[in-house]
Chain A
Amino acid sequence: MMLTNHHRTRRLSLAVAASALLGTTALSGCSVANSEQAAGAPASGTASDTLRVVLQQEPPTLEACESNLTSTGVVVRSTITEPLIERNPSSGELEPKLATEWSSDDDQTWTLKLREGVKFHDGSDFTAADAAATIDRAVNSELGCNVEGYVFGDDDLKLKVVDDYTLEVTAVKKDPILPLRLSFLEVVPEETSATEKVREPIGTGPYQIDDWKAGQSIDVSAYADYWGEAPSFAKANYQWRSEGSVRAAMITSGEADIATGLSPEDNIGELGVTYPNNETVALRMHNDKAPLNDERVRRAINYAIDKESIVASLYGGRDKAAAQLVPAGVVGHSEDLPVWEYNPEKAKALVEEAKAAGEDVSAPINMIVRTAQFPKIQELAQVIQEQLSQVGLTVNLKMLETSQHLTYQVRPFPTDEDGAIMLMTQHGNQAGDAAFTVDQYMTTKGAQSAFGTKELDELIATADAATGEDRQAAFEKVFKYQNDEVVQFAHIAHQTGMLGVAANIDYTPNSSTGDELRLAEVSSK
């Protein structure tokens, strides 16, 4: 009798435990906690009025003044919010957006005429007060906006609302590219908090935010009162997957219409569209330790790397061997600047010459590389390591994650390194002007520059102040001087990006697609 009772109790307890476990799953009704049917996720890949985009990662925020962060900007820029002035990514020209014209007599005070009849998503009218508040909030406030550091530095701008549709912006000193800088600011209403960042901004763009299901998706819909042409798709849905092969699979299986950040290894086939993404890969050599303190060794490294073969074998011939840090389309890029020839014999001779002069060429060089920064980076680093060892140099490969890599990328650089530092860097110039590159990478004290010379600093200062054709010529001179006299860099390649585009979607990516995917430019075939 006792035994039976015992059994019953145990059976009961087990049953309770099992039903609890079942209950957890059943309660979920086979849907994941906090998830709902996404608006833009039809089960099959049939044509719909919803455009489905799959990104590499969830935007940390959609705050307009953080939109120069790739993961934020790709959703926000020119889709949710709009700038006053827009840079055409193909021609490099500045074009009107919320400002219709702009001019300056002295390159210091700029007058902007603003577009009339523009409405924010909350129904309010766009006026000069909104434009002024946007600039004030992003550049002059204590908000700590990313765009402030990226484009404007510590200098504030003086703002004057002349009338409802005229704004005057004054820089602290002459700034011939102020309109270009302003193109980085996305306009938000005057009422937007100036003391706190806003995760879901109100803008004037063709789409407005409907619903952000954290961790899962963002739904947007076309704004009925948009001042410009109505976009083709009434709705759009953003999702994110960190694996490139999964993003590609979503295109081939018809679950998504556009996938960003793919590479040829992702098996996307014909649906992968390549485009120049403005990124350039280079090695930055620090001259504080042997053997990189010897210019002959730095030249030898340039001769020893077979850039053409690397581009052909690792990157399928899509990338282009580089001679400078900015690609074609950026003011200051020179088509005539020659790529360092691949000449291992010359490299060996230079290393021997340095050795004969007493340089310790056997001292280790630490090549600092960021894991997974771009496709096949590890293979690229290994090829370079091998090619440099062939000419008699000792290269250690150090693969680091982003945070550790950044300690080498930006000043102050580590001083306790047990070897000379050679950093592999990937630089993207999205602004279209070489000033954004050389000020950081080539001046003696630049945040990402290991060293420079007085002469180069002077050349850069002259170029920064120049306008028009003089500006182009002046920056060309800067890049030539770095290759001929300074040799801080060994340039590898100008890169290309790849976008997955479903067969029924009409969209041509351009150099800024990775940073701002303008949904209004997408239509169905």
Chain B
Amino acid sequence: MLTYLRKRIISSALPLVVVVIGVFALARMTGNPAALYLPLNATEAMREDFAARNGLDQPIWAQMAQYFGGLLRLDFGASMRTGEDAAAMALRAFPATLQLAAMTMLLAIVLAVVVGSIAALKPNGLLDRFASFTSMIAASIPDFWLAIVGIWVFAISLGWVPTSGVVGAAAWFLPVATLLMRPFGTLVQVIRGAMVSALSEPYIKLARSKGATQRRVIASHALRNAAAPALTVAGDLTVGLVNGAVVVETIFGWPGIGKLMIDSILQRDFAVLQACVLLTAVAIFALNILIDLGYALLDPRVRPSAGKRARRSARRDASRHRPSQPAPAVAAERADATEHELTRSLP
């Protein structure tokens, strides 16, 4: 297990460096920030002075060397916009995003399990059709539109919740409800598909013939087997949220990392942008490791102790339960990667 973790961390370091170098270089290719920070009538002397003060007069490789030197000392640089420490700004914003993502995914998963399981009981029945219809809509609504309509209905017309902000429990309602729709809609489709397939397996017939109750059949047998593909998709949806829910953070004034990242891109605030990217990249790598571990926990076939044939069938199952629209087609790759890495690394 520890060997596995160590290897994962080492193999994650290279992509991290590539991401940071890429962001470093690409950000600087988008133009000189001097025009954004200096008055429009600034003289040439002022522009040179600005560049020198921010180290922008150095060649890019020298700037990069200086940046990586700083990283080793945990110095992420200072924001050009606010003068604050860039790492402090990113670390301050990140928990707000993580909380929003955790709350959203928790509710999305619980709701999707309930709705998806009920829908799978009678495929093509009235409830199933209704669940498929609503989940399709939920997965397709643009969040910008939903957020504005939500404010109009719940904050202005009904006055139940505040329009925006972070003060009080009621302030969570609109951001979470807005963010919830896409993961909920997607997961309902995944869980329904996986449950339909699980419920038709021979072991369910066996369980029923042995007199197991409907609840036990669903909760203990079918749902557990349907959980693996759902986890894969849920993991990917979480990664999207951890990256910052830019639209929702912007509209609701949620002080998260997505808004900070967009602002620092628009303001060419390089140090803050790099700190944000580095932080979210590390978080996403960590999350991916957790998802892989969770996957192995749920599906014994992808564990290293399982035979090759079992792993192949796990992969086939995972790809079969991919949602039709618009969930990412990652289940198969995830199963593949997990199989590969676990085989390689676990003792």
A30, A37, A63: most-surrounded residue (chain B CB, <10 A)? A30
* Given contacts A41-B167, A60-B82, A410-B40, A253 and B155 within 8 Å (CB-CB): yes
Beyond A25-B106, A403-B33, is A246–B40 a contact (Cβ under 8 Å)?
A: no
CA distance A403 to B167 in the complex (A): 34
Tell me if B31 and A404 are in contact (CB < 8 A). Answer: yes
A357 at the interface (CB under 8 A from B): no
- Interface contact A403-B30, CB-CB below 8 Å: yes
Tell me if A's interface is mostly helix, strand, loop or mixed. loop
**A104 touches B (CB below 8 Å):** no
Interface residues of A in 231-281 (CB under 8 A from B): 239-243, 245-246, 249-250, 252-253, 255
Surface stretch bound by B, among A75-83, A147-155, A286-294, A475-483 = A147-155
Interface hub of A13, A31, A215 (most chain B Cβ within 10 A): A215
Max chain A Cβ within 10 angstroms of own Cβ: one of B84, B92, B163, B294: B163
Q: A265 → chain B, closest Cβ, in Å?
A: 12
Q: Among the listed stretches B6-14, B63-71, B248-256, which one makes contact with chain A, having 4 or more residues with CB under 8 Å of it?
A: B248-256
Nearest opposing residue in chain A for B89, CB measure: A214
Instruction: Tell me how many residue pairs across A and B have CB atoms closer than 8 Å.
Output: 165
Q: State whether B40 touches A250 (Cβ < 8 A).
A: no
Closest approach, in angstroms, between the C-beta of B308 and any C-beta of chain A?
21
Q: Which chain A residue shows the least CB distance to B79?
A: A60
Interface positions, chain B 259-286, Cβ under 8 Å from A, are 260, 266, 268
A208 → chain B, closest Cβ, in Å?
21
- Most B C-beta atoms less than 10 A away, residue of A17, A68, A243, A401: A243
Q: Are A149 and B38 interface neighbours, CB within 8 A?
A: yes
Are A34 and B162 closer than 8 Å at their CB atoms?
no
A214 to B39, CA, bound (A): 25
Say whether A387 faces chain B, with CB atoms less than 8 Å apart.
Answer: no
Residue pair A402, B168 in contact (C-beta under 8 Å):
no
Chain A residues near B95: list those with CB within 8 A. Answer: 32-34
Residue B169 at the A interface, CB < 8 A? yes
Taking CB atoms and an 8 Å cut-off, the chain B residues in 21-61 that contact chain A are 30-31, 33, 35-43, 45-46, 49-50, 53
Instruction: Verify B106–A21 contact, CB threshold 8 A.
Output: yes
CA distance A391 to B167 in the complex (A): 56
Report A1-38 CB contacts with B as 1/0, cut-off 8 Å. Answer: 00000000010011001000110110010111111011
Taking the complex as formed, is B118 at the interface, i.e. its CB lies under 8 A from any CB of chain A?
no
Main secondary structure of the interface of B (DSSP, over half): helix
Interface 9-mer from B96-104, B125-133, B193-201, B210-218: B96-104
Q: Are B162 and A255 neighbours in the complex by a CB distance under 8 Å?
A: yes
Give Cα A30 to B33, complex, Å. Answer: 38
CB distance from B97 to the nearest CB of A (A): 9
Distance, CA A148 to CA B294, complexed state (A): 58
Complex CA–CA separation, A371 to B268 (angstroms): 17
B99/A250 in contact, CB under 8 A = no
Chain B residues touching A, range? 35 or more
Partner of A30 from B92, B152, B172, B255 at Cβ < 8 Å: B172
| Chain A: interface size category | 35 or more
- Does A118 make an interface contact (CB < 8 A)? no
Q: Which of B155-206 contact A (CB under 8 A)?
A: 155-156, 159, 162-169, 171-172
A197 at the interface (CB under 8 A from B): yes
B151: Cβ under 8 A from any A Cβ = yes
Partner of A407, one of B31, B42, B92: B31
Contact check, B106 vs A149: say whether CB atoms are below 8 A apart.
no
* Contact A153 B99, beta carbon cutoff 8 Å: no
User: Given the known A-B contacts A216-B166, A255-B162, are A24 and B43 also in contact in the complex, defined by CB atoms under 8 Å?
Assistant: no
- Shortest B179–chain A CB gap in Å is 13
- Provided the pairs A10-B297, A249-B152 are in contact, do residues A21 and B46 lie with their beta carbons within 8 angstroms? no
- 6 CB contacts below 8 A, A to B, read A17-B294, A33-B96, A33-B99, A35-B255, A154-B46, A447-B42
Known contacts A25-B106, A31-B166, A241-B164, then 10 further A-B pairs from the complex at CB < 8 Å, ordered by chain A residue: A30-B169, A32-B254, A68-B39, A149-B41, A240-B253, A243-B148, A246-B253, A403-B30, A406-B36, A446-B41
